[in-house]
Amino acid sequence: MTDPFQRLSLNTITTKNWTLPDALDGAARAGIPAVGLWRDRVAEAGVETAAKIVRDAGLRVSSLCRGGFLTAADDDGIARAVADNRAALEEAATLGTDALIMVVGGLPDGSRDLPGARARVADRLADLVPHALDCGVRLVLEPLHPMFAADRAVLSTLDQALDLAAPHPADAVGVVIDTFHVFWDPGLAEAVARAGREGRIASYQVCDFNLPIAADALLSRGLMGDGVIDFATITAMVDAAGYSGDVEVEIFNAEVWATPGPEVLTRLKTRFAELVAPHLTR
């Protein structure tokens, strides 16, 4: 069994106000061995430079956030989405991660056609798979909480993500299990087991669901222990499904963002030790 702390990754949105060098330095000082990166902060530094400073810091990149936004119905929108995701796959490869997290996108303006948007996601995924294989990077589908079904991701459940992945090789298309987005699902245990059997679990992201829901619902993502999620049960499911990769802490939260980064990392490690690490056996 690996020391669970060797599987801890800081998704850098958690320390949103830090630049990439700040975040890498902060993670390294806190003894966190991996980071999940965001494309905007990588672009600020430049991809090649980012890759070098990650290596110099002795860190791993657990994932790149994010590709996706595949639901455009017009030719220009489709072409832009494909080009942008091809670039993101290349950035992920340069950064040394095999996971590009995909938020698939919501309904185009004025549309109410969820099945149509889902069909376009499937089409774009097929367009992107060959380049993903060439890059050695997986397209990692992220089911988002159903409150975002219309405006952010028409992909709402883990089973739906697995169905979408099914036509493609497991090394081209995977799924991420993000506790905030899936904890409510009455079919979660079966879906996680299925994801394991099908070799699709590419990432595990932990984050609580805080109540009441924040005015900007996405900012209801809380530090583990601050909300309603049972991390013991979900972590044990993911563990039993065979996942042995990095565990990213990914928090969007105004209060966390207003807290100095080093303090956030201290709290995060404490909560990870209490609530998540005891349930990791691999």
Give the integer Cα–Cα distance in Å for 210 and 204: 19
Give the integer Cα–Cα distance in Å for 180 and 226: 12
Residue 229 binds a copy of itself (CB under 8 A) = yes
Residue 147 binds a copy of itself (CB under 8 A) = yes
Residue 236 binds a copy of itself (CB under 8 A) = no
Give the integer Cα–Cα distance in Å for 115 and 120: 9
Residues between 99 and 138 that touch a copy of itself (CB under 8 A):
107, 112-115, 118
Residues between 204 and 223 that touch a copy of itself (CB under 8 A):
209, 211-213, 215-217
β pairing state of 221-222 and 208-209: antiparallel
Residues between 178 and 207 that touch a copy of itself (CB under 8 A):
183-186
Cα-Cα-Cα-Cα torsion 223, 228, 232, 238, nearest 10 degrees, comes to -80
Q: Which is nearer to a copy of itself, 10 or 144 (CB)?
A: 144
Beta bridge partners of 140: 101, 174
Residue 140 identity (one-letter amino acid): V
Among 48, 151, 190, 263, binds a copy of itself (CB under 8 A): 151
Task: Tell me how far, at minimum, the Cβ of 225 lies from a copy of itself, in Å.
Answer: 10
Q: Which is nearer to a copy of itself, 53 or 189 (CB)?
A: 189
User: Is-contact 173 202, C-beta < 8 A?
Assistant: no
Binding site for a copy of itself (CB under 8 A): 107, 112-115, 118, 145-147, 149-151, 156-157, 160, 183-186, 209, 211-213, 215-217, 228-230, 233
